[in-house]
Structure 1
Amino acid sequence: MKKYETIGELLKDLRTEEKITQSNMASILNLTSRTLGRIERDEVQRLNKKSKHLLTENLKVPPQVVSNLSSEIKIPTYYSIATRRYSLSKLYLRLNQANLDYAYAGNVIGDGFSISSNMDVDDIHEYDNHIYPTENPIQKSVILKSAEVLPELNLIYRDDNYYYGGHVVVIPLSEDCYSQIRVNLKNEGKIETTDLMQPSERLPILYVYSCYANCCDISILLIKKAFNGLKHLVRSGRVSKRSILAGYAVTNDGIDMAENAGLEKIFEAPEEFIEYGTQQTPSFYENRIANTRISKYL
């Protein structure tokens, strides 16, 4: 992450990273090129309300980052354009074991997190394609069906203005489908709803398809909420400690969570690192819940 002091500095880097001309960026933000130039040179220190909204809506910069850098009293903010994550401190640039232990050990109160609409899935797809630009993303129907079967583990975070801030998607795969993914990394876009377990069935495989949050605090909130859901599933008997927890990680946070939870790396896909330009070499992880570090909290 880079430390930003002004909105102009961020806009210049964003244009370079996304290969956007100054004229096109001005159009995206409903500004004149002259005004945008003055902002980038820090001659103008703030965006108007409409441009703030457009920066978040069109270029997916978290609203807190926009607010921090474009207010009368500015708050220097660490931000990664590549992963769309921010932090106010160097201490929270990446998840660490203390963060995760806190998430596993606590409880979170509140409802309204479960994935439930096409809009939710569109936001998840948009982020996932930014991080891992496969031509065959997982089907919307699979995510919605997973949320129906496992509402406790399929979560989305939105702020008070309904801006998207993160998600967790866990797919209750059948053993047959999982065995194909594990051996051949079957194209996830070919998973059908018929490959999922049903609400009344015990769940042998929990496949973590995607997990993201735009800051550490939201990461902890979503992990805490999902872990409470897993705890409920284990105690109700729908998930056994012999069940397999698995997933494919391509980011720092994904690998941190997998390794800190005690999942074992099964294989890497360096060719995908080259093809897709992912943050980390894509790696497949798995373990039985009983053998993970999180088992003691269940």
Structure 2
Amino acid sequence: MKKYNSIGELFTDYREFNNLSQSDFAAELNVDLRTIQRWEKDLTLIKSEKEEDIVLSTLMPYQLIHNLNAAVPIPTFYDFNTRKYSLSSQSNTLPKLEWYLDQIDLESNNLRTIDFDFDIKHLEHFIDSQKKDNTYVNHDLIKEAIRLLPELNFVFTGKSGYYAGHCIVLPLKEEAYLKLKNREITNKHLRASDLINYKLSDRPIFYRYDITGDCNDSIFYVMAKFFRFFRTIENKNYLMVSYTERDDNYDLNLQIGLHIVWEDKALQEELHLDYPPRFLEGNFEAFLSKIE
């Protein structure tokens, strides 16, 4: 993570990360070029009502924008790749495994089942921004996942009330799982017809489609709710499946019970990724059994 001391510094790096000119950025935010120039030179503050537009357009966390958009900015760390912010360098990394064991009962009124019509603009924007394929998000697929598994398809809103993270898990049919595992299809090929009521399966298969949080506090709440579901599920013969292009959660995935089935170094080179995409699967029972 990089430490930011001003909104101008943040916006300049945002443009560089997304390969945008000042004119491009102005068009994205629906403001004139001179406004962008003044913001980047820290000559003027952003009006509070404009902060929400910036959050929705750029996907940068509200708290990050709010901290830096002040007469006396609050220095804040931020990583454009993971879209996580932090107030200190000590809390930049993902939480340790022990935290999930100790804090699994942590709850929040800001966790709620995805309201597709209201939340899709956040989910679609965020997920598409991480992938190279703009057909990645299938609306019918997400709707069916919410209908079949509302417990694991939810969003988290921070103290400010803005979107701060989400969890999307698909209850897969065996055939779809095998096609993903054998690399016959990818995420973009999944359809609503590939999902099933997990309670009707002898071996429920859950596909971790996308889980994220804008800071460790958000991740705490999202993952606590996620693990509580598997702690209480009746059928312990389930399988958790995941595909990831990130490496910051690699060790954590192994510690909670997942193992690598395959990794794609050719795709890593083709898409210029920092780490090879990996397909993982496993079960959380050994991990969850450590909870006293």
TM (norm. structure 2) is 0.88
Change beyond 3 A, Cα 1:104–1:257: farther
Return the alpha-carbon distance in structure 1 between the equivalents of residues 207 and 89 of structure 2: 31
Aligned to 2:168: 169
1:97-108 map, 5 Å? 97-98=96-97, 100-102=99-101, 105-108=104-107
Q: Taking structure 1 as reference, are residues 277 and 168 closer, same or farther at Cα in structure 2, changes over 3 Å only?
A: farther
Instruction: Give the Å deviation of 1:162.
Output: 4.7
Compute the displacement of 1:187 (Å): 2.1
Quote the Cα distance in structure 2 between the aligned partners of 1:52 and 1:122: 17
Residue of structure 1 equivalent to 2:66: 67
1:259 aligns with 2:259: no
Which structure 2 residues correspond to residues 40-189 of structure 1 after superposition, within 5 A? Answer: 40-42=40-42, 44=43, 46-98=45-97, 100-102=99-101, 105-110=104-109, 112-159=111-158, 162-184=161-183, 186-189=185-188
Deviations 1:247-290 (Å, cap 9, x if unpaired)?
01112344354223131111111222233344532111111333
Q: By how many angstroms is 1:98 displaced?
A: 4.4
Does the 8 A contact of 2:6 with 2:73 survive in 1?
A: yes
1:250–1:280 CA contact under 8 A, matched in 2: yes
Q: TM-score, normalised by structure 1?
A: 0.87
Deviating 4+ runs (over 6 angstroms): none
Residue 221 of structure 2 aligns to which amino acid in structure 1? Answer: L
Q: Is the 8 A contact 1:139 1:189 kept in 2?
A: yes
Q: How does 1:256-295 map to 2 (within 5 A)?
A: 256-290=251-285, 292-295=286-289
Shift of 1:104: 5.5
Q: 2:241 aligns with which of 242, 246, 265?
A: 246
CA RMSD of aligned residues (A): 2.5
**Do the aligned residues in 2 keep the contact of 1:8 with 1:45 (CA within 8 Å)?**
no
Q: SS at the partner of 1:212?
A: strand
Among all aligned residue pairs of Structure 1 and Structure 2, give the percentage whose two residues are the same amino acid: 25
Q: Which residue of 2 aligns with 1:214?
A: 214
1:170 alignment partner, SS class:
strand
- For residues 90 and 224 of structure 1, do their structure 2 counterparts lie closer, same or farther at Cα, with a shift above 3 Å needed? same
Contact 2:2/2:79 (<8 A) preserved: yes
- Deviations 1:62-92 (CA, angstroms, capped at 9, x unpaired): 1100010011232111111233211111122
Preserved contact between residue 207 and residue 245 of structure 1 (Cα < 8 Å): yes
Structure 2: tracts of 5 or more residues without a match: none
Asked if 1:33 is matched to 2:28, the reply is no
Structure 2: how far apart are the matches of 1:158 and 1:109? 10
Change (3 A) 1:132 1:27: closer
Task: Write the letter of the residue equivalent to 2:54.
Answer: L
Aligned residues: 291
CA distance in 1, matches of 2:218, 2:156: 8
Q: Distance in 1 between matches of 2:115 and 2:102?
A: 24
Residue 182 of structure 1: CA displacement? Answer: 0.8
Q: Which moved more, 1:61-70 or 1:81-90?
A: 81-90
CA distance in 2, matches of 1:185, 1:21: 39
Mapped to 1, the partners of 2:114 and 2:172 lie a distance apart of: 18
Question: Contact between 2:7 and 2:40, CA under 8 Å: does it hold in 1?
Answer: yes
Give the SS at the match of 1:296.
coil
